Structure 1
Amino acid sequence: SHAALYIGRLHDVHNPFSRRRIQSWYDGQPDVQLIIESELGRGTVVRPLHAYERDHIRLSRPRELNWHDAQKVIDYAVSQLGTDYNVRQIVDLFRFLMPWAILPRRWRSTLFNYRPGAMTKTVCSTMIAEAFAQIQYPILPLVKKVSETGEIRLFRRNPKLCVPSDFDYSPYFDVIKYPYIDFSHSKMRYRLLPWSGKPGGLTAEENGFYLEESDLDPSRFE
């Protein structure tokens, strides 16, 4: 899986230094919606949002994030442009998630070991997690009672352990769904959806996975 950070259009970025840095990495039109992502073979780059127009994506929106903090998140992501992709971290994360008992010691994860030059590399979800860490915004923190008085404290998760699905699972991010036909503004409007039509609308591959209206017997549900 993969994750990218939406930053809006060029004029949505308030920091003039960040705008100039984006322009040095992207020479498209200023009104194009942009994302920043870390990708294998490309490193951390800025790309137009429409690069994913043919992909199925999930939109995760941080709750109650104010404008000033959103700009700080964007500024950090922009500062990472040009950073190489950390393939070693992906391998180490995979080994970290594997049961240690079945791995020889020499194959075990070195995810938390210090390696010179490692800070100049990143992966998609780590870069985004670090960006939100700049404003202490939680993703999947550890919540603990740390005293006999019942004091609650949050501990930020190591960004190296963050994976794209964490933004889906986080209770602090809303998953935004985008229905092709929205009937949420009117009760019972789902009854008006265009189920009926001429038969033969399905391809051979789709047939069986989906049903024609003529295949359904409404009386079964009454």
Structure 2
Amino acid sequence: MPAYFLIIHRWRIGIMMGRVQTACDKLLGNLGHRMAEKLGAKHSKYKPLAHIEFDELCQTLRAGDVLLVEGNERISGVIKYVTQSTWSHAALFIGDALPEPKDGSERPRLVEVNMHEGCVASPLENYHGFNLRICRASALSDAERAALVAFMIGKLGLRYDMRNIFDLLRYFLPTPPLPVRWRRRMLSFGSGDPTRAICSSLIAQAFQSISYPILPEVSFDDATNIAAQREIFHIRDHSLFAPRDFDLSPYFQVVKPALTDGFDFHKLVWD
């Protein structure tokens, strides 16, 4: 066979293989997004156990605060089981950094990551009636708060590759039979994108960008004088962070709106 016929033949095979690969990628992508939408389906019977005055919550939040949510989605149950925590979702409060929508709807004041949508800006009203917790980083300057907000706003529109359906299948197991020490690793195991779609991962990256600790690994230097030894902090992989880590972190303050302006239990009316 002449050389040019061989070249044309290989070229045609390459085009066919490329078309097959494109078709497979499209099929897996569509299937992955359908699975992500299923995981994001909400439970209609969700009822919060704690009462938080929503107006007080809005007045208490500051730019750079992490808002933890007890979610009511299918994936929420898996995250709560795997991390042994009440909190299954996290969002960063950005204040009035984004303009008001032209359609007159509520201004988006949260930046969060949803598996089926990617990184989006949402109104605070979306979580009216949920169990919520405010976690506030201590001693942040205005410039550092602005840097956190800018980092998250810069990620708006980011969408994750949902083609790896095997990574998504693990979230359909409500109680995977894993030892406790392996459960957190379950969230980070896999190709990457479905893992990064967990909300707390991007927020952890934002705080790491300003070198703020969440739950760092700590080691000691090799100084011979024990009294002179220093603690050396090491950044953990952001994919290993879960929403509850902001609650557990010794470097984040838990802010409860009912207590900020002075709570007097004597004024409660009991029936």
- Place the TM-score, normalised by the shorter chain, in its bin: 0.5 to 0.7
Counterpart of 2:210 in structure 1 is 135
For the pair 1:177 / 2:256, whether they are aligned, the reply is yes
Provide the residue aligned with 2:155 in structure 1: 80
Between the aligned residues of both structures, percent identity stands at: 31
Distance 2:260 2:207 in 1: 33
Q: Secondary structure at the match of 1:58?
A: strand
Offset at residue 137 of structure 1 (A): 0.3
Structure 2 counterparts to residues 13-28 of structure 1, below 5 A: none
The answer to whether the aligner puts 1:49 opposite 2:133 as a matched pair is: no
- Residue 87 of structure 2 corresponds to residue 8 of structure 1: no
1:68 aligns with 2:143: yes
Residues 190/118 of structure 1: CA separation in 2 closer, same or farther (3 Å cut)? closer
Structure 1, unpaired ranges of 5+: 11-18, 103-107, 196-212, 214-222
Instruction: Give, in angstroms, the shift of residue 142 of structure 1.
Output: 1.2
Q: Distance in 1 between matches of 2:259 and 2:105?
A: 28
Deviation readout 1:14-61 (Å, 9 max, x if unpaired)? xxxxx5xx78xx656598351000012111100111111121211111
User: Between Structure 1 and Structure 2, which shows a larger proportion of helix residues?
Assistant: 2
Structure 2: which 5+ runs fail to align? 1-87
1:172 Cα deviation from its structure 2 partner: 0.8
Is structure 2 residue 243 aligned with structure 1 residue 164? yes
SS in 2 for 1:9: coil
CA distance in 1, matches of 2:259, 2:181: 48
Aligned-partner residue type, residue 52 of structure 1: Y
Give the deviation of 1:156 after TM superposition. 1.1
- Aligned counterpart, 1:198: none
Quickly say closer, same or farther: Cα 1:82–1:121, change in 2 above 3 A. Answer: farther
Q: Matches of 1:190 and 1:86 in 2, distance apart?
A: 50
Three-state SS of the structure 2 residue aligned to 1:54 is coil
Aligned-partner SS, 1:37:
strand
Kindly indicate whether the alpha-carbon contact (under 8 Å) linking 1:83 and 1:120 is maintained by their aligned counterparts in 2. Answer: no
CA distance in 2, matches of 1:6, 1:119: 23
Q: CA RMSD in A?
A: 4.0
Q: Deviations over 1:158-202 (max 9, x none)?
A: 100000000000011111112299653xxxx4223111xxxxxxx
TM-score (norm 2): 0.53
| Closer/same/farther in 2, CA of residues 119 and 135 from structure 1, 3 Å limit | farther
Give, in whole Å, the separation in 1 of the partners of 2:207 and 2:169.
Answer: 20
SS at match of 1:84: coil
- Which of 134, 155, 158 aligns to 1:59? It is 134
Q: CA contact under 8 A between 1:183 and 1:190: conserved in structure 2?
A: no
